[in-house]
Every structure is written in C-alpha cells, then in structure tokens.
Structure 1
Amino acid sequence: MVRPSRVLSLYEGFFAGGARILHTDVIAGLHAGGHQEHSVLAIAARAHRESTVQRMQDDPRYLQLVGGGIRVSTLGTVAGGHPAAPESFTDRQLKIAAEAVHSADLILSLKEQPLGILLALQARGLMSDAPVAACLHRSDPLHSGPALGWLTQAAASGLLTATIACAEATDRAYARAGVTASRRYVIANGIDTRRFRPGTRAEQQATRRALGIPSGAPVVAYAARFDPMKDPGLFLRALARHAERHPGTHYVLCGAGMSWENPAFRALAAESGVLPTAQIHALGIRHDMPAIYQIADVIALTSAFGEASPLCLIEGAACGATPVTTDVGDAAVQIDGIGVVTPADAGAIADTWQTVLQNRPEFRRRALAARPRLGRRRMLNQYRAVAFDLLRREEVAA
C-alpha cells in the first residue's frame, strides 16, 4: 500500500484574513481526499494586529484544521507588524522546525513571510531536500517588506522550487519583482458554495433581527480589515455620501479593527464626514460571514493596492449580493458579468451602490447564476495536480 504524500504548510500565524481562509480550505479539502496527509507549522501562537489580539486556539481556521484531523504545531512567537526574520529564531525553535520539515515530502509556505524560518534552517545546514512552493496572495510584493527579499533569496539559492499564485496579476507582479522560481503556477480562488449560499427567508429575517436591520431595508456590506491596503477611508467617504442621500440604507462592516472600539476607526469615520444618523453596524471580526452576505444587496471593496483575487467578492456573490469594487488585482476578471468595477472615487462608488440597489433583481439573478463557476472543486483539483507534479519531478530528479 502506497502511503499518502506528507505535505507541511507554514503559516506566519492564525489571524483574520482571506489568504488564511483560502489556504486552510485548500489543505482541509486535500487532506480529506485521503491521498495527502497535511500538517501545519505556525510561526506565531498569537497575533497583535489591527488593534486586536488574536490567539491561535480561538481562530476558526485552527479549529477547522484540528477538527479535520490535521496536526498543527507552533514556534510560539507573536505576530505583529513585521514577520519573524531568519536571525530571530532560537535553537529550540529551529529544532522544532527542522523536525517538521524533515517529516514532509512537500512544503507549502502560505505567502512569503514564513520563509524566514526555512532560510534560517538552510543557513544552519538543517534544511531538508523537500520541494518548497510559496503560495502567493498579493499583487503588490513591494509592500511585503523584508519578506520579499527572503522570497527572492530562496529562489536564487534553489531553496524555493515553485510559486503558486492565486491570480494572474499576482504571478506577473512577483515576476517583475525578481522572483525567479523554476516553476510557476496560477490557481484562481474558489469557495465552498455549500456554505456560501442564498439564505432562506427565515435565516435572513433572523440575521436582520439580530442586527436591528428592518425587513426590506437596503444593505451594503464591507468585509475588510482596518488597513491602508483596504482603504477604509474611501469606503467611509462613499458611505457618508450615500447615507446623506439615501438615509434608509444600512451599512454592515466586518473585519479586524472595523469596530467603534477601535479609536483609529472612530477618528477616520469622523474625518470622512460620516454623520451620527448613518445606519452603521461596525461589527469587527465575525465568524458568520455567510449570514452577513445573505442579507447584503451590495458587497463593497475599496482597496487601493495589494489585492489579488479577493474572496469577499465571490463569497458575497454566491450568497446573492452584487460585488462593487475598485480595479485591483484580478477583481475585474472575478466579477465580470456579475458586478461593477468603479474608479477610486467616493462619489462614483456611492452612485454605483445606488444603481445596483435600484436594479436589484437583475443583479441578484446574475450573481446566483454564476455560482457554478465560483465553487472550489476546480481549485482543489488544480492544487492536487500541482502537488503531484512537484513530487513527481522531485522523484525523477532523485
């Protein structure tokens, strides 16, 4: 009997974000298929980000992996504004990491930040010969800080075997930045359409009731962390304009730091001209996003840079909401035929929201008709094929 291939994923840590959601869904799906045995090594055990403290043990991605029988270990650091540099690891942490990588046939790095630990192992002569693939989820690698240098160093030294980009924009951007991996793959994001689905009337009524949103009131949803990349100021300026003209609309904001408890959020809302009368539900981190999308008419994204293949747009569409986004990464390709791309202008964004609300039935019909192409089956099959290709090539080279 041939044993399953052993695949180790490296996480910077467990904290809210689309890349972690996507990668966790991928490895959980592949592990459940039986041909691969997955494990995870997290550099950090908790994260201090966007005015929040996020512990690994509380994170839904961690709970999903452990619940699916996937072993998760950690080096116990704290993730913050900067990833852990190669020289920062202790002998004990290097020993734990060396044991993990030597037990794997293939190593996947979730984004470039965890590569610091592999470079540290390489410098000590502790790195294994397993192929290493970096799973990339940005379209602006120059904003990755020192981690971009680790990625280019890993590629130049032969430590990095391949890159797996979630968008064509991502693949092109990293190539321009000098990442010269011998193999490059592009696998577009997909989602679990069993989870992200239209809500029943009872489900929608229950969510609206819990949030204090009247039945039939228009809803604009925003799912993004409080970060300059997401340009929450642009969103709030558009909200201020829209709310002034259409006071019956409700705005549901989700994401780390998107809460009135965050002083920076409160200050930005005031600076953006948001009036106290605006119907804003700033909920912070939520773990029930399908329920939020199910009551939304519009799923808004106002990112300025960095996006590759934003999950919130297709998650919202699969639930019946209409994506309205700035032109970042592969967003325009993602929502072709089901949403609207706007310039980064608050007035234009507010006007587009209202156009969607006025033509809601047709836009909803388009979103729901696209559900088959938004699913994750194609994505999982492609990741499985890439893993097989990397392992087969390694066997041939040996």
Structure 2
Amino acid sequence: MLVGVEFGRTAGHNGQHPGSFDPTLDELALLAESAGDTPVAKVVARRQAPDAALFVGSGKADEIKLLVQTHQAHTVLFDQSISPAQQRNLERVLGVPVADRTALILEIFARRAKSHEGKLQVELARLQYLATRLVRRWSHLERQSGGIGMRGGPGEAQIELDRRMIDDRIKVTKERLKKVQKQRSTQQRARARNGVFRVSLVGYTNAGKSTLFNALVKARSYAADQLFATLDTTTRSMYLEQAGASVSLSDTVGFIRDLPHKLVAAFQATLQEAIDADLLLHVVDAASPVLEEQLAEVERVLEEIGASHIPQILVYNKQDLLDEDQRPRQPLDWIERHEPGKVGVRMPRVFVSAQDGSGLDVLREQLVAAMQADNTETQSTIQA
C-alpha cells in the first residue's frame, strides 16, 4: 500500500504543495519495485498538518486498514518521513509493518552497494536511522546481539542495550569508513598530480547515466530501468581522439527528491568524485514529465555537497523515447540556468540517446572544448 499526504491549504501551479509529495505516487511505486515489492493500491490524503499520533489521522488510518485487508497488503509505505512514535502507532492500528520513504531508500541502498566503501556508507546511514527508532526488527543486528547479559522482553534495560550496541556499531563503522576514504583521497591526489581532466556524470536516478557511461567508455557498468541501479562510483579512462588525450570519467550514484540528509552525509565520499571533478555531465531524462523538478533537485544537492561551482554540460538523454515532433532540430544549444544566489549561468545543452548513440559525437566535441578551455585557464593562472 502506498500512502502520500499533501499538507497545507495552498497548492503550487501544478496542484502540488511546495515541498510535498509526488501527487501520483509514481516515484514511490518505482522505489517499492526497486526494493522488490509490488504496489497494490495508492491512497492520497490531504491535511492541514500531520497528525501527531497517526500522521494521517484516525479516520484515514481506518480507511487504510480496510484497504490493507481488501488487497491483502503486507506493508504500508509512506511517501514522507514519519516519526518512530507514528510508525509504532500506525502498525498497531493497521496490523502490518509500516515504513517511510527514508527506510525504503536505505533498504534499496543496502541491497545495491557492492564496494567495501559503499557497504560501509549504507551501514552507517542505516545505523543512524535505526538509532532514532530502536525497533528491534533488523536481522543483522539481532544475530549479533545474542547472549551478553540480555534478559529478553521489552523495557528500559533492553532499549539501553540496543542504544549502546548501535552507538558502538556507529563508532566502529565511522572509523572503518575513515580508513577507506583516506585510501580514496590518496588515489585522487595521484590522479590530480597526473594532470588528468576529471569528468563526473551526475543526475537524477534513472536518467540513464550508466547507459551513457557504457556508451562513452565501452564499459560494462550495470544499467537497468530502475531507481538506484548503480550505487558505487565507477571510474574509467576515456580517450578523446580530437584532443589526443584521455579523460577520467566517473559514474556516480543517482540523486532523488527528498534524499534523506543522513544519506547525503553518509554518501559524501561517493559524491566526492563529483566534488573533485573538473567538469560535470548533468544527465537529464528528456522524456520525464517532471524534468524541471528533477533538474532543480540535482542542483540543490550539488549545492549541498559543495559542487555547484563546477562547470556543467547538460546532457538531455533518452531522445529515442520522444515523439518526432518533440525532438530538437539541432543536437546542441546553449541555455541559461538561474541558480540560487547567482547570476544566470550559460551552459551547453547536448541532446543524445545513450541507447542508439545519436548525439554522442557532439557530446565528445563539447568534452574536448571544455578540456581545452580548462587547459587555457590553467596556463593563464600559472603565468599570472
């Protein structure tokens, strides 16, 4: 069961309250499918403010309970974050497990992380989330908790044991992560000393970054039509014939609306590839009906991680999914993006299809131009 709640009296131009959920719950449905669940029904509620006890209020909770029974749903997923108390109360009323968007994203991240660093980052984010919940249903913690003076049964002592155990795990995970990040920064410094021009692919999840990455470097990075297909940063060398030189190309984790702050913090090292890049290829799903919102969300996260100053090429991908009359006449144009607190920034926009390869030659030309502009700037700085 998917549940979204729209708060406030006034709605935005698209009928959506600012900072609210996706009215159709399409993205939550995609997230659920990425986690291996099958959405069976959607419920949309409208309220002035969240109900302190049940988030949706008792009347709507009863309605959801009836739908849960009708559809034989196993879990209820909320599109917004709910508090630990609201989660417990809802589970009591609905009779099935309840999870929110943050828990769902963490679940997907936990399944998809492949590298040692990625797994540690997910572990840290999950532990920090769990520390605020103290709901003992996390099997990997259950298995490791046995026998140390535990009496069993709920109560203050049990919660204290949980809290101490989680705090210890957070401490150990942070230390292990620090070591891995140290190794990564050593590798990055070595790359910087080599004078390699670094390009990072960024963009909303499922914009086709991995497919584009594969098309550009002929790699075999995992690509699928689902949210968060790629979690770990993959870096390959790409030879640009016109420049007679190679650049370093990195594929990073996809961004998403309302990405939990804990995850942005925990994934700082994965996103470090974007922060340290000389150029960002901002990949956009040209066929998405919410293209502008997704663009704005990526720009917001780039600002949050300190990467908004890095030059960008906008890559409007998935041209093959557009109708003939929607496709651009030219494969390249220039647009002005108005970023918060800045004068409009002009950046090239390239229209491509990573699937059929159209526009990739124009994108390579733009990469060469960006690389040469960077070299010119570096030379001017040295001479100055």
Give the alignment's TM-score, normalised by structure 1. Answer: 0.28
Structure with bigger gyration radius: 2
Greater RCO (Cα-Cα under 8 Å, separation 6 or more)? 1
Give the alignment's TM-score, normalised by structure 2. Answer: 0.29
